[in-house]
Amino acid sequence: MYKYLFGPVPSRRLGRSLGIDIVNPKTCNMNCIFCECGITKELIKERKSYINLEEMKKEFTYALNNVDFDCVTLSGSGEPTLNKDLGQIIDWIKTMTDKKVVLITNSGLLMEEEVRDEIKNLDIILPTINTVYNSTFKKINRAYEELNINDIKRGLKSLGENFKGDILLETFIIEGINDTKKELNGLADFFNSIKYTKVQLNTLDRIGTERWLKPVSKSRLKKIKEYLELRDVKNIEIIGKFKTEEKIKKDENLLKNMKSKRNYSEEDLKKLFIK
């Protein structure tokens, strides 16, 4: 029944997130080593239409009356800003629900004014920045050749100057790559130069693209948080395990679609769903 909607996903940052996937599987401008969606076989640069908007609207309208969720998240199996209908999709969802509408993005297109204008009505944006050095950016994010870290920095700075909602900056910590003093000092200087709501330190929760990648310990993340705070970075939090007080009824079709996009543990699913 569902082609575009999935979940509700047990999000560590958003609670029960009803996902809408608005691009084809692995449509992305990066091939991040930590991506839970798998390898990006072809890096995509150009924006275009990817979904049948009328079908998506029918799915969402049905879900509004049949699914319990905390927010609507534009995410899924690729980079949602690559859909050129993004602004139209956001504005329509906002007319249908008073739940918060969220965008998860790798920040690769935020330097484009057109994209920032399309997402201005969102409630929350979760953009990623893992380093301020281009050599490290290439190691971690493996974007197409023309995209560099200065584009990411410029886009995030411009976003902070105009966006009225919450900006939850994600930094994915990879031990031995972006957790050195040089890396953390660079990130601290950048964070202190832009406007945001929170910095969220994250690490691997499910299997990433590169199997050698391991989660960073909670104690290490705590030390990084303390170090950044000493550099005057404000409002830092460590992303923990998903927790919910309230379980919800399964929708098998949404759950099937959800499992097709991520490797969820049985522990996650037991926390979220009533048997």
pTM assigned to the model? 0.88
CB environment 32-66: b (16+ within 10 A), e (fewer): bbbbbbbebeeebeebeebbeeeebeebbeebeee
Are residues 110 and 116 in contact, defined by beta-carbon separation less than 8 angstroms?
yes
φ/ψ bin of 52: left (φ > 0), alpha (ψ from -120 to 50), beta (otherwise)? beta
Percent of the chain topping pLDDT 70 = 86
Q: Confidence class of residue 252 from pLDDT cuts 50, 70 and 90?
A: low
CA distance 177 to 157: 24
Percent of the chain topping pLDDT 90 = 76
CB atoms within 10 A of CB 174: 24
Check pLDDT > 70 for residue 77: yes
Check pLDDT > 70 for residue 265: no
Check pLDDT > 80 for residue 162: yes
Q: What is the mean pLDDT of residues 158-177?
A: 96
- Give 130-157 pLDDT, tens digit per residue: 999 999 999 999 999 999 999 999 999 9
Are residues 10 and 268 in contact, defined by beta-carbon separation less than 8 angstroms?
yes
Report the pLDDT value the prediction gives residue 43, as an integer from 0 to 100: 96
CA distance 107 to 126: 9
Report the pLDDT value the prediction gives residue 264, as an integer from 0 to 100: 46
Check pLDDT > 80 for residue 158: yes
Check pLDDT > 70 for residue 180: yes
Report the pLDDT value the prediction gives residue 9, as an integer from 0 to 100: 84
Whole-number Cα distances in Å, 56 to 63, 98, 124: 11, 18, 21
- Give 192-225 pLDDT, tens digit per residue: 999 999 999 999 876 667 777 888 999 999 999 9
Question: Who wins on pLDDT, 124 or 271?
Answer: 124
Eight-class DSSP state of 184: H
Q: Cis bond leading into 8, ω under 30°?
A: yes
Q: Confidence class of residue 241 from pLDDT cuts 50, 70 and 90?
A: low
Are residues 63 and 258 in contact, defined by beta-carbon separation less than 8 angstroms?
no
CB atoms within 10 A of CB 188: 19
Report the pLDDT value the prediction gives residue 243, as an integer from 0 to 100: 54
What single letter denotes the amino acid at residue 56? M
Eight-class DSSP state of 169: E
Q: Strands of 236-238's sheet, edge to edge?
A: 5-11, 15-21, 71-75, 100-105, 124-127, 166-172, 198-202, 236-238
Q: Confidence class of residue 13 from pLDDT cuts 50, 70 and 90?
A: confident
Report the pLDDT value the prediction gives residue 135, as an integer from 0 to 100: 97
